[in-house]
Structure 1
Amino acid sequence: MKRYLLTCLLALGAAWAQAGVGLTTLPGQQGDGPVTVFYPTAAADQPLQRGAFALQVAVDAAPLPGNGHLVVMSHGSGGAPWVHSDLARKLVEAGFTVAFPEHLGDNYKGMGDAGPVSWRRRPLEVSRAIDSVAQDRRFAAHLALDKVGMYGMSAGGHTALSMAGGRWSPSLMRQHCEQHLEEDFSSCVGLATQLRGNFLDDLRKAVAIRVIRYRLVDSNWYSHTDNRVAAVVAEVPYAVDFDLQSLAHPRVPLGIVRAGQDRWLVPRFHADAVLQACKTCVLVADLPTAGHGSLLSPRPPLQDLGRIAADLLSDPPGFDRAQVPVAQARIVSFFQQKLLP
């Protein structure tokens, strides 16, 4: 308990010593997309507009050492750093530097590689994002890059499970969808279509199975290890294609964030399956009334999304968004406990 209190006080000290949240962009490695970095700074925040998102940041300001640790964050399919910027701010206020790789072919600019094509690349992009930070002289001198945290949401949660030591195969996704297509339809077909309870549903399922069997023929196992990553949080992770035995004893501390009303990745097939298999995982935050996108903060403008995405990312009736900062604080606390001295 004393050690935990000391850790929290050190993190608070880092927050008190800074005035704002720095923001800069680093070039990706080996053709990767850019890496967006949030970090402690003494400079004052200023308004900055990024698309529909109004941020308060200090652009390209000089960094402060903070607590000396990096957290890499992996966005979901079609995602961007901005919908996780409130969590990034809380991490920075606790002294962390935060890096977001833009996942090639699966971000807000385009989703042509969403799914297994992107999932194979994402862990490598996380490792190269660490390299990008390590090669920037503004950050390298004061970050302990042998103890990095990693957080991911949805498809980013799949990346997080990989970084924690899990192995996966597209063929397991095919097997799952053949067995549970109707129950977990959106995780199998994404945003292509939805079941609507009408006479066309049988056709939708038949076409979906045909496409799934055509595309998911790869039976290879995929995994990636980066010994610099020392603690991982997976929020509403895509998990049906994982060998769950590979997650029974993760190679690093693994925390799970669960949304009980998730209709995109039904918990019993995804987050709950990992929690049941994992002997050492921590349920960092459990939000029984939350939906798949309820912890996105600030929220994306749903009117700018397609109908299916807006439906699946909308808050369920009765969800209280006052739970969001509480869950974010628990994620920060997990990284403090696992990464700080």
Structure 2
Amino acid sequence: MILPFHILAATWIAVSSLLALQQPAVAAGRDVGVRQAFAVSKERGADLAVTVWYPAGPGGEPVMLGESVFFKGTSALKDAPVSPERYPLIVLSHGAGLAGSPQALSWIATPLARQGYIVAAPAHPGNSGPNRSALETMKLWLRPGDVSATLDAMETDAAFRDHIVTGKTGMLGLSMGGNTALGLAGARLDPQRLADYCDTDTLNASLCEWVRMSGADLHSLDLGSAGRDNRDGRITFAMAIDPAPADVFDPKSFAGISIPVDLVNLGQAGKIPVTADVSAIARTVPQARYTTIEDASHFSMFAECRPGAAELALSENIGDPICADGGGRSRYEIHAQMIDMVVSAFDRVFKPGL
């Protein structure tokens, strides 16, 4: 299955609050701070919560992010001062379901901040938590606007505006966040493909089960704006890992993407779910790089599982194998490769010569 949206999993949403720790946030290297910010979204009609990780100076309260009954958390220093330099900015877009919050991606955001990036992740409405909504989640054309609103906020936020390198802004998206990254790069949704997406379970059984059980009908969505151009010229590089759904775009729009794009699939060729397979898309994007991690799975984008999490998920009738990777290596090892891959990609674009 792709995109874990099993309805029972909604009761186990990753903890989004900041939980205190009694240990240093970073064992070695640059300290990482975390702050909560807000972005004004006129289209959403509400402020968006934004989690920001950054290279930190001394101070701050040790906290743990993304910890839940299933997943291990990642430590950082709450409200630590920003280290007095300038850094490239990366906007991070999360997926939905159990990975449907910024904090759920702390495992990748924290290493990026440790390597000298400011990472800002908006919470996309409807994707998880008590206000989860299948219809809101499927309004994929609104997600790029959340990122643009986050960029607006970061440009004026007193804590960060003087620490961001102008002209070095990137985009990283995982799962549904990868769909968002492609949209910001210039890919356009095909309204009819989106409306038809859950007519059967062929493309995405897990997601479409949630849509169906919610009583949602994608054909009832107002798709008048769905095919619009959502690109944001401030973003000069985008990276998408297992972007899903990737098959709801107008295929002709990929040729119009003018910025470098790195595309990553998790799994072996021929076994990657069709809705996340971007191997063909990579051949149509002018400046695309395509990579696979063959012994990973879509669930490798989740945080490391706690001991007993797989058994707990089974006992709670969660239909997705949230702790299963591709076999052979541990999730810790796969994460190490993914982190190195992501850091190297952004360093290649924003820190040439390193």
Name the TM tier (shorter chain): 0.7 to 0.9
Whether the 8 Å contact between 1:186 and 1:264 is mirrored in structure 2 is no
Whether the 8 Å contact between 1:20 and 1:45 is mirrored in structure 2 is no
Choose the corresponding residue for 1:73, options 82, 92, 103: 92
Whether the 8 Å contact between 1:66 and 1:95 is mirrored in structure 2 is no
Q: Are the structure 2 counterparts of residues 184 and 258 from structure 1 closer, same or farther at C-alpha, using a change threshold of 3 Å?
A: same
Q: Aligned-pair RMSD on alpha carbons?
A: 3.5
Q: CA deviation at 1:22?
A: 0.4
Whether the 8 Å contact between 2:141 and 2:189 is mirrored in structure 1 is no
1:155-234 paired onto structure 2 within 5 Å: 155-174=176-195, 181=200, 183-186=202-205, 189-191=208-210, 214-215=219-220, 218=223, 221-234=227-240
Choose the corresponding residue for 2:322, options 302, 308, 313: 313
TM-score where L is the length of structure 1: 0.78
Identity of aligned residues (%): 26
Bigger CA drift: 250-259 or 46-55? Answer: 46-55
Choose the corresponding residue for 1:60, options 60, 79, 85: 79
Q: Per the alignment, in what secondary structure is the counterpart of residue 76 of structure 1?
A: coil
1:293-312 paired onto structure 2 within 5 Å: 293-299=299-305, 303=312, 311-312=320-321
Q: Per the alignment, in what secondary structure is the counterpart of residue 47 of structure 2?
A: coil
- Residue identity matched to 1:332: V
Alignment of 1:28 with 2:35, yes or no, is no
Q: Are the structure 2 counterparts of residues 306 and 221 from structure 1 closer, same or farther at C-alpha, using a change threshold of 3 Å?
A: farther
| 2:9 equivalent in structure 1 | none
Aligned partners of 1:71, 1:94: CA distance in 2, in Å? Answer: 12
Whether the 8 Å contact between 2:126 and 2:137 is mirrored in structure 1 is no
| 1:10 equivalent in structure 2 | none
Alignment of 1:246 with 2:257, yes or no, is no
Aligned partners of 1:309, 1:232: CA distance in 2, in Å? Answer: 32
Q: Deviations over 1:278-319 (max 9, x none)?
A: 342112x41223221212234486646996765153424615
Alignment of 1:85 with 2:106, yes or no, is yes
Whether the 8 Å contact between 1:47 and 1:56 is mirrored in structure 2 is yes
TM-score where L is the length of structure 2: 0.75
Total equivalences in the alignment: 310
Whether the 8 Å contact between 1:186 and 1:265 is mirrored in structure 2 is no
Whether the 8 Å contact between 1:123 and 1:224 is mirrored in structure 2 is yes
| 2:145 equivalent in structure 1 | 124
Aligned partners of 2:50, 2:315: CA distance in 1, in Å? Answer: 26
Q: Deviations over 1:225-268 (max 9, x none)?
A: 21111110111112111012211352211111101269997147
Q: Deviations over 1:164-188 (max 9, x none)?
A: 110012312345666xx45424276
| 2:279 equivalent in structure 1 | 272
Q: Are the structure 2 counterparts of residues 111 and 271 from structure 1 closer, same or farther at C-alpha, using a change threshold of 3 Å?
A: farther
| 2:19 equivalent in structure 1 | none
1:82-161 paired onto structure 2 within 5 Å: 82-113=103-134, 117-161=138-182
Q: CA deviation at 1:26?
A: 0.6
Whether the 8 Å contact between 1:18 and 1:42 is mirrored in structure 2 is no
